[in-house]
Amino acid sequence: DWIEYMLEYGPVIFFVLKTNQRPRAFYYIILISFLVITNNLLKVVYKIPRPFWIFADVKAYACQKGFGSPSGHTMIAWAMPG
């Protein structure tokens, strides 16, 4: 989904264009790309379903078609320095 990628890479692209921190921005682009690829591979390996796929009483506010775990947001938050 292009919106998800723009939310991930958009701040880095903005950082590159507005500052002179290209090596640091390159590091973040490589890091985020590695995490997105790793996360998608782990989701295929583990195949942990989302809770609303299993339990009828759990209502989904947004319908995601992919597996739910491991969390990509958690992986990126854990890996970001600072």
pLDDT greater than 80 at residue 39: yes
Q: Which tokens is 74 given?
A: 């958690």
pLDDT greater than 70 at residue 42: yes
User: In whole angstroms, what is the distance from residue 66 CA to residue 47 CA?
Assistant: 9
pLDDT greater than 80 at residue 5: no
Give the pLDDT band of residue 53 (cuts 50, 70, 90): confident
Percent of the chain with pLDDT over 90: 5
Mean pLDDT for the stretch of residues 42-58 = 83
Contact 38, 75 (CB under 8 A): yes
Please state, rounded to an integer, the average pLDDT across all residues of the chain. 79
User: Could you tell me which of 49, 38, 46 has the C-alpha nearest to residue 74?
Assistant: 38
- pTM tops 0.75: no
